[in-house]
């Protein structure tokens, strides 16, 4: 809905903003370096008339600082607000919007496990993650195909290869987005989570989608895994801790039962 649209527009805007800022920032740095080089040369030649160039360098450095502040202010506008979220309800809501985004050649399948315990995470960011993964899946299936969104609970002992403590101690839920698209080569797969890494044409990809999702999942004390092979499609698995904790080991090694009531 409006929030989701806003979210994906925001990611796009962030990409444009960071791209633009990096460019302007680089220009200012070039100016600072140039001015300081003149100062260095003049001083080496015994000249004292360097005020103007030092002034220029300071001026450019201040403008560069303003630029990074702008970027940080934009990035900080969104603190995480974790809540108890019903995964299936959230997926069902997004599924209403998706056909318009996916187009007619892509079939959307939902495979939702019944009676799931709620997850603990920021619903707006989770929504935006699902939307971004679906857009990536769409882009990987230009000839059409199938997008599957699956939810489930993960039995103890199963789940991600690297399981953070938060998932060992709480029931774990799974959200999986799979496509039957082009898949990734090992080189692309290795860099897919890097900020600004994109294989999409200029103006289409920001390279920020997966890196932002990775950041959000890690901050939510979950884990994310990517399976992909050229010609065999891609599956992204997101593991999130439930809002209800089974037990929590304290630093002293005692076992206490704790409930998270957001």
Contact positions vs ligand ADP (CB under 6 A): 136-137, 140, 179, 181-184, 188, 192, 197-200, 205-211, 234
SS3 225: strand
Name, in order, each residue with C-beta under 8 angstroms of 249's C-beta and a sequence gap of 6 or more. Answer: 165, 169, 255
CB nearer ligand ADP, residue 69 or residue 200: 200
CB nearer ligand ADP, residue 202 or residue 259: 202
Q: How far is the CB of 87 from ligand ADP (least distance, A)?
A: 20
Q: How far is the CB of 61 from ligand ADP (least distance, A)?
A: 32
Tokens 């101690």 identify what position?
169
Cβ(155)–Cβ(173) below 8 Å: no
Q: Classify residue 46 by burial, with Cβ atoms within 10 Å: 0-12, 13-18, 19+.
A: exposed
Q: How far is the CB of 230 from ligand ADP (least distance, A)?
A: 9
CB nearer ligand ADP, residue 15 or residue 118: 15
Q: How far is the CB of 105 from ligand ADP (least distance, A)?
A: 15
Nearest CA-CA partner of 127 in 226, 13, 7, 24: 7
SS3 67: helix
Tokens 């200012």 identify what position?
28
Q: How far is the CB of 60 from ligand ADP (least distance, A)?
A: 31
CB nearer ligand ADP, residue 64 or residue 147: 147
Q: How far is the CB of 79 from ligand ADP (least distance, A)?
A: 22
Among all residues, whose Cβ is closest to ligand ADP? 209
**Cβ atoms within 10 A of the Cβ of 1, count?**
10
CB nearer ligand ADP, residue 166 or residue 206: 206
What is the rounded CA–CA span in Å between residue 194 and residue 199?
12
Cβ(147)–Cβ(134) below 8 Å: yes
What is the rounded CA–CA span in Å between residue 17 and residue 24?
10
CB nearer ligand ADP, residue 82 or residue 145: 145
């Amino acid at each position: 809905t409006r929030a989701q649209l806003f979210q994906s527009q925001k990611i796009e805007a962030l990409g444009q903003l960071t791209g633009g800022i990096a460019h302007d920032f680089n220009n200012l740095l070039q100016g600072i370096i140039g001015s300081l080089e003149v100062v260095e040369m003049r001083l080496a030649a015994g000249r004292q008339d360097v005020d103007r160039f030092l002034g220029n360098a300071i001026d450019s450095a201040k403008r560069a600082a303003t630029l990074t502040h702008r970027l940080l202010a934009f990035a900080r506008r969104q603190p995480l607000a974790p809540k108890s979220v019903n995964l299936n309800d959230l997926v069902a809501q997004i599924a209403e919007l998706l056909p318009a985004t996916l187009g007619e050649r892509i079939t959307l399948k939902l495979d939702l496990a019944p009676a799931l315990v709620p997850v603990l995470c920021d619903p707006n960011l989770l929504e935006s993650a699902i939307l971004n993964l679906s857009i990536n899946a769409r882009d990987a299936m230009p000839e059409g195909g199938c997008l599957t969104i699956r939810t489930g609970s993960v039995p103890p002992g199963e789940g991600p290869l690297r399981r953070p403590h938060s998932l060992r101690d709480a029931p774990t839920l799974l959200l999986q987005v799979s496509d039957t698209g082009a898949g990734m080569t090992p080189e692309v797969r290795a860099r897919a989570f890097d900020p600004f890494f994109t294989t999409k044409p200029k103006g289409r990809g920001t390279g920020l989608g997966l890196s932002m999702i990775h950041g959000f999942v890690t901050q939510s004390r979950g884990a994310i895994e990517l399976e992909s092979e050229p010609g065999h499609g891609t599956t992204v698995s997101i593991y999130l801790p439930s809002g209800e904790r089974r037990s929590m080991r304290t630093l002293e090694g005692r076992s206490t039962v704790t409930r998270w009531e957001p």
